Structure 1
């Protein structure tokens, strides 16, 4: 394997090993569960629970400032969402993002969205009119982000960047699709008339289009594809991207173009790294969250750069759930940037959220409003729903350990919030630094 593959494997293996040790340690140290909280759960916290006004930004800003000051001491802030389709989660994270950017010097907002798609959106939105934002969102954002609340964030970014001397960059840290990565690399290298590179980039674009079509088609009930075809696409895609990466320094691209082509190539390799390792070496697969952590931290190019991440609660969390099977991007980030990460989880009890029946989320997935199951008293959400305040946040560093080991829900983008979504891997205080709870919420207003 080339030097890049060795270094990527080394980094991801180190992160995975450290995460495994952390998971084992947490499992041993987790406090024993208690029977119940008092009906007014927030009274356990006293002044540690801060009521929130979700209707007035100025009031919200005053109430959230103690938490903002804590976030501001870190280089990276993770803003989680307890479901992928809740209007209020988008709204309050937009408000927090606005404060962190305008008042605390944060200059990157990175979504749980494809890296290359997000790059294209960031470039396009600089020149776009306000009325064009809907079209760009449909083109470059997967369905969970295609809503009016995210549009408000992007519209604010447009206005901010046209006036500010320190613009904010929109980016993505996920690796779902390959086509835009491959096309960008081809566009950057074509002017240099390198025959070998031309062959490789044309081949990579074809492989990427095939790979993305497999992802889209997998949502069809009648879809079937031989493993040999899919596996061959993975191996060829990884090896082609690796060859391109090794050839890039010989083209003498300008520094900014070389960096961009390198990142797009690496993004493809990260997407394919896990299955490629398994198919070629029969090693355990590299997990998605460690790859997202690697990509997210690349946005910190200068010592003064600061980063806000929008993703599901259990991606931004300090550790994974379901026995280490899901989430934990935040834990990997903490290992790479010790002491520089703060994460806010968000949750709700009742109401509606937007979801899709698709097994794999895409740009074309159709979202619908579905009701949340009423949480039982044994759930974290069920206990917090008994609080007198309908919306509040808690500094979990101050939350009594004896009250944190409840079962909680991991509601994603599918229409399930029943018993199948429950997990009890760790106390919530080990997952997040702070937690914002809204008793009753509604589905995001999706752009059709």
Structure 2
């Protein structure tokens, strides 16, 4: 009997310890998530975005992010919000993290100037990773945008443009093709820049490495840009074709600067790229005129203000920070995205085959983990409401998935972030699915 009594005492003690341990865990969870008592709203259908549109108010610049380049829900909700901003707030410009020449081709299509199908139009994006823009989600939005533009006068049609910096050779070709008729002297300058770059066979890495030995085509590109700028100055202010040529010449100059920095400083190349994005946004707004409103689509790492992440310590800036600093009086509103678990389209290494990968549960105590524990599955956070809550102002990991990704080793995919400072609003989708490449 003594042995049986001892066993029962041990079982009872273990049960009591387990209950106490569970209570401690629950208390800890409550402590970690209980601060989300305000600023949290449901996100189930398009009507739930009304609150966000109201808070955006009269902001002239709205930047909408994504936590990966391969998640369907990020693209779909971003498109939904964009539609509402176009219809209800009068936005007429969209600038995306994509090449200018490819996006300009899609822009012509959505403005009724191109032929073929919507899927063919979005497949103008041929640079790897093609799935970023050549996907069904973008095609669906593009078809909506084309229909929206159909009955509008030209100066009110919504434009779709690229603001990235990679298209050195493609942009030079665009300048040469246009100037062959418009100004053959400038077309010759474009050919001279192409001749300078010809030995590298459109291989950015080869050119970048060659610059370490003193090679440079920068002067030819700068000379071309100045000539195109002079040409555009002689055209009517709203001359779209001349603006397109000038932007391609600018892309070529900044692309060369980017590739030169690429083999010297990751921070330097990053900053060249995001400052080019800022310059492109400013140029688009100036070209459209009359206080035009613009929506930017890019990864969270570009959209979310870099000053409230560990990016600031390395000297990195991004377009969200730059536009906030430059245009605070006109209104700059930053929207981020995140998810807890699901699937994503990505590749293990740069340039390799596209894969659908499983995204594991978010790291403990990350922002995604904290939001997952909230009773609301999908949610809209209006982060200005949380800026007086101490726990919400703590720096926590925030997941960022790029075009290359390894789910088995994602510890480096978390950016330390003060969420209510980095963004103005945050859309959290607990379980996500993969994008649909064409």
Q: Taking structure 1 as the reference length, what is the TM-score of the superposition? A: 0.78
SS of residue in 1 equivalent to 2:161:
strand
Q: Which runs of 5+ in 1 are unaligned?
A: 1-34, 55-59, 219-224
> What corresponds to 1:87 in structure 2?
72
Q: SS of the residue aligned with 2:166? A: coil
Q: Which position in structure 2 is the counterpart of 1:182?
A: 172
Asked if residue 267 in structure 1 is aligned to residue 251 in structure 2, the reply is yes
Identify if the C-alpha distance between structure 1 residues 202 and 36 changes in structure 2 by more than 3 Å, giving closer, same or farther: farther
Change (3 A) 1:211 1:366: farther
Aligned positions, number: 388
The equivalent of 2:113 in structure 1 is: 127
Residue 356 of structure 1 corresponds to: 347
- The match for 1:298 is 283
Structure 1 residue 377 displacement after superposition? 2.4
1:129-170 superposed Cα distances (whole Å, 9 cap, x missing partner): 5x6222232222633222111111111111111123421000
Q: Is 1:40–1:388's contact at 8 Å kept on the other side of the alignment? A: no
Asked if residue 147 in structure 1 is aligned to residue 135 in structure 2, the reply is yes
1:24-423 matched pairs, under 5 angstroms: 38=30, 41=33, 44-54=35-45, 60-61=46-47, 63-125=48-110, 126-128=112-114, 132-140=117-125, 142-165=130-153, 166-192=156-182, 194-195=184-185, 197-206=186-195, 213-215=202-204, 225=206, 229=210, 235-236=216-217, 238-248=218-228, 254-255=235-236, 256=239, 257-274=241-258, 276=260, 286-301=271-286, 302-319=289-306, 321-324=309-312, 325=314, 328-339=318-329, 340-359=331-350, 366-399=353-386, 400-405=389-394, 406-417=396-407, 418-423=410-415
- Aligned residue for 1:44, secondary structure, equals coil
Partner in structure 2 of residue 24 of structure 1? none
CA-atom RMSD in angstroms: 3.0
1:316–1:327 Cα contact (<8 Å) kept: no
- Partners of 1:279 and 1:357 in 2: CA distance: 22
1:43-81 residue CA offsets vs partner (Å, 9 max, x unmatched): 533352111114xxxxx22x2212102223210101110
- Matches of 1:157 and 1:163 in 2, distance apart? 11
Q: 2:368 and 2:278 mapped to 1: Cα distance?
A: 28
For the 8 Å contact 2:305–2:318, the answer to whether it is kept is yes
Q: Post-superposition shift, 1:296?
A: 1.9
Structure 2, unpaired ranges of 5+: 1-26
Match of 1:442 among 420, 433, 437: 433
C-alpha separation between the residues in 2 aligned to 1:398 and 1:140? 39
TM-superposed deviation, 1:370: 0.4
Q: Residues 37 and 300 (structure 1 numbering): CA distance in 2 closer, same or farther, change over 3 Å? A: farther
SS of match in other structure, 2:203: helix
Greater radius of gyration (CA): 2
Aligned pair in 2 of structure 1 residues 402, 443: CA closer, same or farther (>3 Å)?
A: same
Report SS of the residue matched to 2:163: strand
Q: Name the SS for the 1:298 alignment partner.
A: helix
Q: Name the CA distance, whole Å, in 2 between partners of 1:230 and 1:271.
A: 14
